[in-house]
Amino acid sequence: TQLLEQSPQFLSIQEGENLTVYCNSSSVFSSLQWYRQEPGEGPVLLVTVVTGGEVKKLKRLTFQFGDARKDSSLHITAAQPGDTGLYLCAGASKTSYDKVIFGPGTSLSVIP
């Protein structure tokens, strides 16, 4: 069974602080996506990483895919209250099951 773990589960920080959340698995993924979800809404795709070692930047957000394509991290610089939400990672694996697996998420709260 393929599993994706995310840490920390909960994170509460002050506006302006930096933070990193992690997504780990024992399985290799062909691609990995990060989503942010606000309460009562569907997850919104932030980025897709496909190459081992790849780093993508989206304004204050930096995403990295591990060299072995088993893990990923999301770093936020100078967090703002608008960054508050549930951050989900999802891995796509070209196995016989061919489906996307979601991690349990990291709930981030940025306090003004």
Partner 1 sequence: KAGVTQTPRYLIKTRGQQVTLSCSPISGHRSVSWYQQTPGQGLQFLFEYFSETQRNKGNFPGRFSGRQFSNSRSEMNVSTLELGDSALYLCASSLMGIDEQFFGPGTRLTVL
Q: Position 88: which residue type?
A: L
| Strand bridging mode 44-49 / 61-65 | unpaired
SS3 78: coil
Q: Which of residues 6-35 bind partner 1 (CB under 8 A)?
A: 30-31, 33, 35
Q: Which of residues 53-92 bind partner 1 (CB under 8 A)?
A: 88, 90, 92
- Exposed e or buried b per residue across 18-53, where buried means at least 16 C-beta atoms within 10 angstroms of its C-beta: ebebbbbbeeebebbbbbbeeeeeebeebbebeeee
Least distance (Å) from partner 1 to the CB of residue 17?
26
Nearer Cβ to partner 1 (19/92): 92
Applying CB under 8 A, which of residues 45, 58, 68, 111 lies at the interface with partner 1? 45
Least distance (Å) from partner 1 to the CB of residue 32?
11
Question: Are 48 and 32 a contacting pair, CB within 8 Å?
Answer: yes
Applying CB under 8 A, which of residues 65, 105, 108, 110 lies at the interface with partner 1? 105
- Point out which residues bind partner 1 (CB under 8 A): 30-31, 33, 35, 40-45, 48, 88, 90, 92-94, 97-102, 104-105
